[in-house]
């Protein structure tokens, strides 16, 4: 790592940096738990003797002899103290538990609780926790919750009891309480145990999907930023609508003289995106001559607003129309395929791409977008083949070539293939030579250089991309991440991220990244506010679910910190 001058800049540990740098990926498990470090974990369970923590691995059951029973009377001895009697009941309960005699074990643990002196809190915690373990094997989860809660009253940092209660809440479908408990378990554990982290991830996904579905069903549709919309259309090299827009730009008309779809084309040229759907409605209602094109554009903007079913309905209607231009029909099929992916219907998505290929075998857009579907399916070889096919069909489409090189580099990482990585880097150099003003290529190349550790060069290319596309806020988000990764300069990172969200109030990635940094710094409330802004900027249910996982994790850790006296702000 290059030496930098940062005497007054706050720094984050390499552990924290590794988590921050994961932002923007599809996996939320790691960076959703950024606050807590191993060395700040509290010690726990030191004085607690109990039965197996993971009772899922059950001992072989064995019937006891009929003449063996355990009662208070049997253990009675004038020389014994109440505490020694309680210990004896507990020991016999453990023996019965190991033999699979859970009902009788419960009786012994109950007897231990009944005779144990009230001042033996640690022991009482153990007895309740052991009885909860027996109830768990009998699938009496309400009783598990009651007993683990009692155990935690006596020993609030009792990890086994907390984990067992979390599992009981999971069994009963109480995801919120489960998340709160398993989050506390992770924090006490220092985020070291994989089984705890996997459970947390599962619970967060359940909760975040539920929250996202409820929120998305109630929110008003809204478009993403103009920059996002612009780049969406750039991802199609054979879009018939945008070709019409480019032709119209050569001879712009007075919009007062236009109506219906002609006015749609004008507003597309002017980037008056809020006017698109209303004017498409006019053309569709009057069944005008540009009806298929109006359906296609309205469906596209509904897609951009996250209205998946409404968009799919328009595209399905369009596909059923007769006498539709083949380019319009193919673009329609590509977008149906994209929507099917969002609905997690991958086979149906591929079927629609195949139909498009039957109609227009040499359409580069089909292979570019199907390649992205293959990437999501982790069919890397098929992905690369489609990307290469797209580039061969339209070698003057630098966006496709840049995406191909980026995916080729990712595949090289995935399979530890140096030849693939080398070919990708050479590919970026060729694109730069032939298309020096393609900001997307420079941007993707900068990301690859950053991953290679060539930070100075990466910074140069990010800045060049920003000069070519001065309205792209994501350049500054990545410069902020680079400031953390390379210079470990939190102040500079925050400066870049604030610039990104000042450029685009809908910059979801910027809010998300800045929110994570603020929480790492101990500014919990500010972090939560930024996550909420990211949620407000999200325009698909999938994005909402990802962001809710971060928001829920932050809130759960704040609550755990309050309940158990943990310090989220102590990150040094």
Contact 487, 34 (CB under 8 A): no
pLDDT digits over 91-109, tens only? 999 999 999 999 999 999 9
Reported pTM: 0.75
Q: Which tokens is 355 given?
A: 């139909």
- Residue 521, pLDDT score: 84
pLDDT digits over 484-495, tens only? 999 999 999 999
Q: Which residue has the higher pLDDT, 510 or 78?
A: 510
CATH superfamily of 82-218: Tetratricopeptide repeat domain (1.25.40.10)
Distance of CA 224 to the CA centre of its chain: 19
- What is the mean predicted confidence (pLDDT) over 216-239? 91
Distance (Å, rounded) from C-alpha 91 to C-alpha 397?
A: 75
- Domain range summary for the chain, segments of one domain joined by +: 82-218
Contact 171, 138 (CB under 8 A): no
- What is the mean predicted confidence (pLDDT) over 279-294? 96
3-state secondary structure 411-471: HHHHCCCHHHHHHHHHHHHHHHHHCCCCHHHHHHHHHHHHHCCCHHHHHHHHHHHHHHCCC
- Residue 551, pLDDT score: 87
Instruction: Spell out the residues 6+ positions from residue 307 whose beta carbon is closer than 8 angstroms to its own.
Output: 221
- Residue 79, pLDDT score: 62
Percent of the chain with pLDDT over 90: 72
- Residue 418, pLDDT score: 94
Mean per-residue pLDDT of the chain: 86
Contact 241, 293 (CB under 8 A): yes
Is the pLDDT assigned to residue 32 strictly greater than 50?
no
Which among 80-84, 132-136, 155-159, 209-213 has the top mean pLDDT?
132-136
Q: pLDDT confidence of 398, banded at 50, 70, 90?
A: very high
Q: Which residue has the higher pLDDT, 539 or 54?
A: 539
Is the pLDDT assigned to residue 1 strictly greater than 50?
no
Cα distances from 314 to residues 57, 234, 293, 360, 474, in angstroms, run 53, 22, 11, 21, 31
pLDDT digits over 341-364, tens only? 989 899 999 999 999 999 999 999
């Amino acid at each position: 790592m290059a030496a930098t001058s940062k005497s007054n800049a706050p720094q984050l540990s390499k552990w924290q940096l590794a988590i921050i740098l994961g932002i923007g990926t599809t996996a939320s498990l790691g960076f959703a738990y950024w606050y807590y470090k191993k060395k700040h974990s509290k010690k726990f369970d030191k004085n607690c003797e109990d039965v197996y923590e993971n009772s899922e691995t059950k001992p072989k059951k064995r019937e006891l002899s009929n003449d063996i029973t355990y009662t208070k009377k049997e253990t009675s001895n004038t020389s014994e103290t109440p505490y020694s009697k309680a210990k004896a009941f507990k020991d016999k309960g453990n023996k019965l538990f190991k033999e699979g005699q859970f009902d009788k074990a419960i009786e012994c643990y109950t007897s231990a609780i009944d005779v144990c002196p009230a001042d033996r809190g640690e022991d009482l915690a153990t007895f309740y926790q052991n009885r909860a373990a027996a109830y768990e094997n009998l699938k009496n989860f309400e009783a598990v919750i009651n007993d683990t809660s009692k155990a935690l009253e006596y020993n609030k940092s009792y990890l086994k009891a907390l984990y067992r209660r979390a599992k009981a809440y999971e069994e009963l479908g109480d995801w919120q309480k489960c998340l709160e408990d398993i989050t506390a378990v992770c924090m006490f554990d220092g985020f070291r145990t994989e089984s705890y982290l996997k459970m947390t991830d599962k619970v967060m996904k359940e909760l975040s999907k539920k929250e996202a579905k409820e929120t998305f069903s109630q929110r008003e549709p809204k478009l993403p930023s103009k920059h996002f919309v612009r780049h969406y259309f750039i991802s199609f090299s054979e879009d018939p609508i945008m070709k019409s827009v480019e032709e119209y730009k050569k001879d712009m008309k007075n919009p007062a003289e236009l109506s219906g779809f002609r006015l749609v084309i004008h507003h597309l040229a002017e980037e008056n995106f809020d006017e698109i759907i209303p004017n498409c409605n006019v053309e569709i209602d009057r069944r005008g001559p540009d009806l298929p094109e109006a359906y296609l554009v309205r469906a596209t903007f509904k897609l951009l607003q996250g209205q998946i079913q409404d968009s799919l309905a328009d595209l399905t209607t369009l596909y059923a129309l007769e006498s539709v231009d083949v380019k319009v029909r193919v673009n329609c099929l590509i977008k149906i395929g994209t929507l099917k992916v969002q609905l997690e219907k991958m086979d149906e998505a591929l079927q629609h791409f195949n139909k498009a290929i039957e109609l227009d075998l040499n359409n580069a857009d089909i292979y570019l977008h199907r390649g992205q579907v293959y990437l999501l399916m982790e069919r890397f070889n098929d992905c690369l083949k489609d990307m290469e096919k797209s580039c061969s069909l339209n070698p003057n489409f630098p966006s496709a070539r840049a995406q191909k090189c980026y995916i080729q580099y990712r595949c090289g990482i995935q399979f530890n293939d140096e030849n693939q990585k080398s070919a990708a880097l050479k590919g970026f150099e060729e694109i730069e030579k032939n298309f020096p003003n393609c900001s997307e290529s420079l941007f993707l190349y900068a990301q690859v250089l950053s991953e290679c550790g060539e930070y100075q060069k990466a910074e140069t290319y990010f800045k060049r991309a920003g000069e070519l596309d001065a309205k792209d806020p994501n350049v500054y988000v990545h410069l902020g991440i680079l400031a953390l990764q390379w210079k470990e300069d939190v102040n500079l990172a925050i400066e870049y991220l604030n610039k990104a969200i000042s450029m685009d109030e809908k910059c979801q990635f910027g809010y998300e990244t800045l929110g994570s940094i603020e929480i790492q710094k101990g500014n919990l409330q500010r972090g939560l506010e930024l996550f909420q802004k990211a949620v407000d900027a999200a325009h698909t249910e999938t994005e909402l679910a990802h962001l809710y996982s971060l928001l829920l994790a932050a809130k759960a850790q704040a609550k755990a910190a309050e309940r158990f006296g943990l310090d989220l702000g102590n990150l040094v």
